Amino acid sequence: MDRERTWWKEAVVYQIYPKSFNDSDGDGVGDLQGVIDRLDHVESLGADVIWLNPVYESPQADNGYDISDYRAIHEEYGTMEDWEDLLAEVHDRGMRLIMDLVVNHTSTDHEWFRKSREGEDGYREYYYWRDGDGEEPPNNWKSGFGGSAWERDEEVGEQYLHLFDRTQADLNWDNAEVREDVYEMMNWWLEKGIDGFRMDVVNLVSKPEGLPDGDPEQDWTGIEHFANGPNAQAYLEEMAERTYDDYDTMTVGECVDVDVETASDYVSADGPMDMLFHFEHMFVDVGDRWLSPAEWDLTDLKAVMSHWQTELDGWNSLYLTNHDQPRIVSRFADDGEYRRESGKLLATLLFTLSGTPYVYQGQEIGMTNYPWSSLDELDDLQSIGKVEEAMEAGEVDAFEEVQDIVRARSRDNARTPMQWDESEHAGFTDGDPWLAVNPDYEEVNVAAAERDGDSILQYYRTLVDVRDENDVLVYGDYQLLIPDHEELWAYRRTLTTDGGTDEVLVVLNFDDTETVATLDDAERAGEVVVANYDEVPTTDGVLTLRPYEARVYELE
Ligand code: TEU
């Protein structure tokens, strides 16, 4: 483990999805002034860095991940002045701000794509245009949102590649002009004083010569070709050299279909990124297709996370959800009777593993998945695309048939408006919210959590302090214990410095029943550092944990 002390290793990152965070002008859509108005909440949590999802000019087909102008702010979110005020307010509070960098693709409304369609000098090669065979696509690659990854443009008479929505055309990074324009744009934002980037699907930017067909058995056909392509490492290294390497920044790359070995090339000490988001733990409950659910076992989740804890040559990012994933209490624990204990249990996991923890808005109050009951209620291109694809294939006749899967898996679960209080629309807006507010908002909201000294929110604040005060939780080695236990996740963290060796034991019960285990380490269990139940009984090696109980002990 690379123990060199660095601010972003000791940081806690709070992720804000501006469209759903807080609406200041009553148009039902969150905005930048709304973020500024709620910075006290973020600061009070003890967050050090804010990751802002895309706020750039965009037709909003994919809620901002379809950018039409990288140097302008989306009108519904406010103005560049509002953004500059936000940056100043964040810095005045001693926090940092990282922006979302979306350069694998642009919106088809972007000037580059318009010039490319018109074949303006040199712009045609900014994207992937191919003849294809009449109506047939040039290859069998699929879009991550369902359907073919190719769209025919009748006027151009050719097809263009889009690994996501047809309004998100993939940039041709093999074209040095494209890379130059991207680096210039990044330096423009760095000069404005941002503290880094979260980089969207950044390991997809290099596509192999000839764009060969993919294995049709793959749910995302072609991924073995367009993920970690032939020049991905080289382009990321060039990007780092030409932009953020000259600044005191933090970079985290979203990398689909990456394993520990490839990831180590990207984030090792001399790699082009500080950390990355992998998806291996995000697929423990996903079958071979998006629409096919799979029962998940704790032993699988433990195995995946422990592998990254011990085998990554670099620094881990720690996340259990974000704007693309379901709510964690609903997914990994219990969002009913034990929602409070579950929220705290998962927080304990996130703050006691080695790496930088990311908290997604609403996670700190234990927000839950939404009971979607029709396709019309949904906004997320991926959920809608996957259901429509199955309907077109005749696999699904009615929404009811896939309702449970959509309720469990839809990205919209993470995008329902933030729940601030018990007032109408959960205090998110005085207008009509762009997406439905979760009906549990009268119970699950920030105001109620503030009034309740034993709330999940208060527990997050405690964990932030505990992590600040215990370097072993940041820089310590990780050792999984009882790997085959199906209800308990137990591990030891160990840090040896000149001042001696610190050890802590973390024990987490992922079951809704009392669970007993014998742990040698528990014989050395000393002071309780933090726990999500009051009265923690002493132990002589035999541990009896209550439903969704979490305990962190100092080891003597
Ligand atoms: O997501 C990439 C991506 O592949 C995820 O949407 C993935 O499909 C999902 O996590 C389910 O497993 C990024 C952004 O985070 C996402 O919001 C965008 O829609 C997408 O890229 C295109 O920019």
Which uninterrupted H or E stretch holds 107?
strand 105-107
Ligand 1 atom closest to residue 104's alpha carbon, by position in its atom list: 23
Tell me how far the alpha carbon of residue 489 lies from the centroid of ligand 1, in angstroms: 29
Tell me how far the alpha carbon of residue 104 lies from the centroid of ligand 1, in angstroms: 12
Tell me how far the alpha carbon of residue 324 lies from the centroid of ligand 1, in angstroms: 6
Q: Is the CB of 17 under 6 A from ligand 1?
A: no
Written as six digits, the tokens of 229 are 């392509």
Tell me how far the alpha carbon of residue 413 lies from the centroid of ligand 1, in angstroms: 14
Exposed, middle or buried: residue 382 (CB in 10 Å: 0-12, 13-18, 19+)? buried
Q: Whose CA is nearest to atom 5 of ligand 1?
A: 324
Written as six digits, the tokens of 31 are 């905005």
Q: Which amino acid is at 344?
A: K
- Is residue 285 part of the annotated active site? The answer reads no
Catalytic choice (57, 151, 237, 254):
254
Q: Which amino acid is at 217?
A: E
Q: Is the CB of 380 under 6 A from ligand 1?
A: no
Mutate to test the pocket of ligand 1, among 60, 70, 161, 164 (most ligand atoms within 8 A of CB): 164
Q: Rounded to whole angstroms, how far apart are CA atoms 207 and 219?
A: 18
Q: Rounded to whole angstroms, how far apart are CA atoms 340 and 335?
A: 8
- Is residue 200 part of the annotated active site? The answer reads yes
Q: What is the pLDDT of residue 94?
A: 98
Q: What is the pLDDT of residue 198?
A: 98
Tell me how far the alpha carbon of residue 127 lies from the centroid of ligand 1, in angstroms: 20
Ligand 1 atom closest to residue 66's alpha carbon, by position in its atom list: 23
Q: Is the CB of 144 under 6 A from ligand 1?
A: yes
Q: Is the CB of 164 under 6 A from ligand 1?
A: yes
Q: Rounded to whole angstroms, how far apart are CA atoms 485 and 463?
A: 25
Q: Rounded to whole angstroms, how far apart are CA atoms 258 and 391?
A: 30
Q: Rounded to whole angstroms, how far apart are CA atoms 15 and 322?
A: 8
Ligand 1 atom closest to residue 65's alpha carbon, by position in its atom list: 23
Mutate to test the pocket of ligand 1, among 58, 201, 279, 280 (most ligand atoms within 8 A of CB): 201
Q: Whose CA is nearest to atom 2 of ligand 1?
A: 201
Tell me how far the alpha carbon of residue 267 lies from the centroid of ligand 1, in angstroms: 20
Catalytic choice (48, 200, 265, 521):
200
Mutate to test the pocket of ligand 1, among 145, 167, 200, 413 (most ligand atoms within 8 A of CB): 200
Q: What is the pLDDT of residue 484?
A: 97
Q: Is the CB of 181 under 6 A from ligand 1?
A: no
Q: What is the pLDDT of residue 99?
A: 98
Q: Answer yes or no: are the C-beta atoms of 234 and 179 closer than 8 Å.
A: no
Tell me how far the alpha carbon of residue 151 lies from the centroid of ligand 1, in angstroms: 19
Q: Is the CB of 227 under 6 A from ligand 1?
A: no
Q: What is the pLDDT of residue 228?
A: 98
Written as six digits, the tokens of 332 are 């990994």
Mean per-residue pLDDT pooled into runs of 10, the chain (556 residues): 85 98 98 98 98 98 98 98 98 98 98 97 96 85 96 94 98 98 98 98 98 95 98 98 98 98 97 98 90 89 98 98 98 98 98 98 98 97 95 94 96 98 98 98 98 98 98 97 97 95 98 94 92 87 94 95
Q: Find where tokens 């070709």 sit.
A: 225
Q: Find where tokens 């290793």 sit.
A: 9
Q: Whose CA is nearest to atom 23 of ligand 1?
A: 65
Q: What is the pTM of this model?
A: 0.98
Tell me how far the alpha carbon of residue 373 lies from the centroid of ligand 1, in angstroms: 23
Q: Supply the angle between the helices 260-267 and 232-242 in degrees, to the nearest 10.
A: 20
